[in-house]
Amino acid sequence: MVDTRVNTSRSWAVLVLIALAQFMVILDATVVNVALPSIGDDLGFANGQLQWVVSAYLLFTGGLMLLGGRLADLAGRRHVFLTGLAIFTAASLASGLAWSPGSLIVSRAAQGLGAALLLPSALSIITTTYEGHQRTVALGIWGALASAGAAAGVLFGGIITSALSWEWVFFINVPVGVVVALMVPRFVPAGSRPEGARARLDIFGAATVMAGLVSIVLAIQGTTDHGWTSARTVGLAAAGAALLAAFAAIERRSARPLVPPATWQIRSLVSSATVMLVATGILVGSFFLSTLFLQRVMDASPMETGLAFLPLTLMILAGAHVAQHLLPKAGSKPPMAAGLLLMAAASFVLSRAGADAGYAADLLPGFLALGLGVGMTLVAVSIAAMADVGHHDAGLASGLMTTAHELGAAIGVAVLASVATAGSGIADGFGDGFLVAAPSRRPWR
């Protein structure tokens, strides 16, 4: 295999470009949250449909991420990255031009397809470009941006929606995508493409795993209208489980599986993906609930809502900084464990906010703890995940991690939104939703 590492004078330019694209895509998972009420009013969304603006993006991103990661290994990382960037940028333009709920949901799904190609190829480029201390620094920055991008999306969404209109939360991606696309061929090496790449791609396995994941998330999302024990919910969940079991059987028998069985023996990667799924689910689900609570219970404007998340964003960066200092001495487990405990504590604090809640007393402490915990957790987990992965499987491992990130976000929104809407009011549902994210069975009142 050709060595794809770049020389020192160009290495940080690679990181800047790849991180900028990654930040844009991660940000897009949450930037629309603050704009949701405006989008719903303008395009005529029903209340139960509005979460699909977020979920369509997350489902297609998470469902296709393994395929995107494997394509990066087989078809060339830079080529797949640029293809994903082009699709994502074009779909962002289409989202801003949407004229109906259906057109926006379709364009958001297309954005998810672009992100599914872009994200794992971007992470694999970073993994194969850097070595030693540089690799640790680069992965730490990647992990920090993954969480900061999600938080900043809520902040930017409020500012853009107030200053311009909801369409611009999508239009803003277009110039960024064009600039990155023009600069990447100059700084990022093309790398090598294994011979016979097309023949080795497990399309059937990719379709099966995507269908299984989508069925499970659809089952969870439908509980808002149909309940947890309805025939629809149980049937979709059972179908999803059967499809995932079929995927496992396909992979065992395939000569060239999408996910080689040896991948599941890399304990650091599998455990890190699990932590990533849980942490991202809590984070993005928290943004969804908190945005609706701020605007519909506390009567905050989109600008005020965005600014309310600024301390959380800053604490994510602080948590990432703390984790990077702890990692060389303590390893990844202590900052990861501390971060998860902080996130659980934050969820419990937020669950106690009621209809008469104040921002400084009831929401801010939870936001600060959540941000610090997320920053510590995602930096530690990003470094731990890739520690034992070779260059030839970097795309697949990156795909597994980014699948966990996006799927966790989709499940987090679905579960917390379902629990929240089951309450007797928005304030009650807000507390119930956050109790799900916290390891406590105490009533929140």
Range of the domain at 39: 8-189+258-437
3-class secondary-structure state, position 159: helix
Q: 3-class SS at 111? A: helix
Domain CATH number, residue 372: 1.20.1250.20
Phi, psi of 425 (to 5 degrees): -165, 175
Do 338 and 228 lie in one domain? The reply is no
Q: Clarify whether residues 361 and 305 are in a common domain.
A: yes
Domain assignment present for 197: no
CB-based contact 280:339 (threshold 8 Å):
no
Domain match, 159 and 221 both: no
114 and 19 co-located in one domain: yes
Average the pLDDT over 314-333 and give the result. 81
Do 25 and 88 touch, CB atoms closer than 8 A? yes
Whole-number pLDDT of residue 424:
52
Q: Is the pLDDT of residue 201 over 80?
A: no
Residue with tokens 């995508």: 177
Residue reference for tokens 């795993």: 209
pLDDT in tens, 81-126: 899 999 999 999 999 999 888 899 999 999 989 988 888 788 778 7
The mean pLDDT value for 117-138 works out to 75
Q: How confident is the model at residue 389 (pLDDT cuts 50, 70, 90)?
A: low
Per-residue pLDDT tens digits for 227-269 = 778 888 899 989 989 998 998 888 778 777 777 777 777 777 7
310 vs 330: CA distance, rounded Å: 29
Q: Tens digit of pLDDT for each residue in 408-437?
A: 777 777 777 666 666 555 555 555 556 555
My answer on whether 100 and 240 are in the same domain is: no
H helices, E strands: number in the chain: 19, 0
User: In this structure, are 228 and 376 located in the same domain?
Assistant: no
Q: What is the pLDDT of residues 30-65, one digit of tens each?
A: 677 777 778 888 888 776 677 778 778 877 877 777
The yes-or-no verdict on residue 141 having pLDDT over 80 is no
Which is more confidently placed, 194 or 157?
Answer: 157
CA–centroid distance for 175 within its chain: 22
User: Smallest Cα–Cα separation from 87: which of 66, 62, 61?
Assistant: 61
Question: What is the spatial distance between Cα 44 and Cα 285, in angstroms, rounded to a whole number?
Answer: 23
pTM above 0.85, yes or no: no
pLDDT above 70 for 339: yes
Number of domains in the chain: 2
Same domain, 242 and 352: no
- Do 236 and 320 fall into the same domain? no
Please give the full DSSP string across 394-445, using - where no structure is assigned.
Answer: HHHHHHHHHHHHHHHHHHHHHHHHHHHHTSSSHHHHHHHHHHHHTT--S---
